[in-house]
Chains A and B, each alone.
Chain A
Amino acid sequence: MGNTYPVIRAVAEGSILVEYEEEVSLEVNRKTRQLAFGMEQRPCPGLQEVILTYRSVVVYFDSLVAKEETIRGLIEEVNANLVEIELPPPRLFRIPTTYSPAYGPDLDRVAEHTGLTPDEVIQLFSSQVYPVYFLGFICSLAYLGGVPEALHVPRLSTPRSFVPAGSVGFAGPQANVLPVDSPSGFNYIGCTFVAVYDPNQFPPTLIRPGDYIQCPAVSEEEAKLAGERHLGEFVESFQNT
């Protein structure tokens, strides 16, 4: 079809949607992060908020204050110099996680599906680092990618109506750490007690798009002790190898 990306178009009265290539990849997601970061350095009357997801960015503006063409012009300008926009250095959050059977309702099913032993599943999952594509859904949920193919398991055919906050799970290439009790169709194999979301602080999470998360295996007792500590105590700079 020969689309040239990004596609920039108005949505409803007060937003402009910018779409890069239609795929989930860190290369494409990086462009959304650069555009959002670039836009945030360019305050403009009426511009309200810039939201990024896998491959798209939405710019919200007050249509009684700013003209659509003005916002569109700003987006085009920032996009034209995208490659020069330097993002903040990525960080790695290593969040202690217990994989004790009481917290992993789907561990056996994942083992069966992948042909691995439960210990191998835990070993493989907990040794990986998962890139944060963006924050969204509700309560700062970090959309994590990069689950190794050996662990690709589909979502549950019937989602659970209740999964406790802190649960660590995955489906296909995606993973998450639930910020609050939620319904979910992911496969949960462990749990952390470190709060990844706290509405009484600003920002409500320290995790940023472009960061990485790892869920190293610790005993249940250690995981609970870690839960008394702040998320900020588990962050280090990320060395890309």
Chain B
Amino acid sequence: MRAFKILSPGIQTTIQDQGRHGLIKYGIPKSGAMDQRSFVIANLLLRNPDNAAALETTLPGLKLQALTKITISITGADLDPWVNDQPAPQYTAFTMREGDVLYFKKRKQGLRAYLAVQGGFDVLEVLGSRSTYIRGRIGAPLGAGEALSSCPFDREATEDVLTLPREYRPDFDRADPIRVLMGPQDDYFTPHGIETFLNSTYRISPQADRQGFRTEGPSIEIAKGPGIITDPIPPGSIQVPGDGKPIVLLRDAQVTGGYAKIAIVARVEMDSLGQMLPGGTIRFQRIDRQKALDLLYEETQRRNRIRDLLK
């Protein structure tokens, strides 16, 4: 079904889902929505399958026109969406009429918003996912004039308007540090270097993208180096090249590399990382593995509650 025409794609808008699985050994990263929590909520609001493809749009600017009557949801960053001359609801399913124009006006909080459509966006599945992976020539950012279709919605339509209560909506203006697990190569840095890493505020490069970001800030003192024998890079790895400034690697990053990894971001923080602003600041806090697992468990419980609320 014809769904939307892109009037302006903004800075970058791509199709994403939960990503690719089992392809790292072929040098293909997971990709997928950078903020999986917001992405899945967008689908739950529409009673879509969790993995239905949605739009991920970075910063304001995206403008699109409904080509038919269509039910959608908007989650993630608050980019001040408007339909025609009215503010559009967020974290709430709503229906657009044919010809309505949806426009993301201004960033209020976070970086990436998700726009899901009943049935999910209909694009070709490549290697088991509809996620765009630009460097790998799988899909491409959306361009002006492009038309998007949605898949048939085969679940029972409902009359109730699903909305996520405020207390469950994430706050992207967090000031607390990002929690990390040290290693696997933290022994490549001096104790002083580790102190620097854990006690400094780093500035996120304005060139931050889906692959990751460089940072500016105090140099981490290196004990041995310059690098390691190239090994795997788990998502969330924080590698430190010769200049001592940490690089945080995200869902579209290369899967192997030769810089020592001082730490890896706790899994429970990955969605928050995807909402951090280029040019903003980041600090790191060390936690141990048990704490990380406890946090992950708590987060899973919280998501299950959201799932129950939106049933």
Contacts and interface: CB of A to CB of B under 8 A. Distances in A.
Interface of A: 9-15, 17, 19, 22-24, 36, 48-56, 58, 60, 63-64, 134-141, 143, 179-180, 199-200, 202-205
A180 B135 CA distance: 8
B126 A137 contact: no
Contacts, number: 123
Contact of A13 (B29, B136, B230, B296): B296
Given A54-B229, A139-B27, A204-B26, A134 B137 contact: no
A136 B232 CA distance: 8
Contacts of A138: 27-29, 135-136, 254-255
A134 B266 CA distance: 27
Find the residue from B138, B232, B234 having the highest chain A CB count within 10 A. B232
Given A53-B231, A60-B24, A140-B26, 4 more contacts: A9-B184, A48-B22, A56-B229, A136-B232
Interface residues of B, number: 38
Contact of A180 (B29, B136, B255, B296): B136
Given A50-B25, A64-B300, A136-B27, A11 B183 contact: yes
Contacts of B28: 138-140, 199, 204
Q: Name the 7 nearest CB pairs between A and B, nearest first.
A: A136-B256, A12-B264, A58-B232, A56-B231, A140-B27, A11-B184, A51-B232
A133 to B, nearest CB: 9
B141 interface: no
A199 B230 CA distance: 24
A135 B289 CA distance: 29
A64 B298 CA distance: 11
B26 A200 contact: no
Contacts of A200: 126
Find the residue from A23, A136, A204 having the highest chain B CB count within 10 A. A136
B52 to A, nearest CB: 21
Interface string B244-278: 00000000001111000000101100000000000
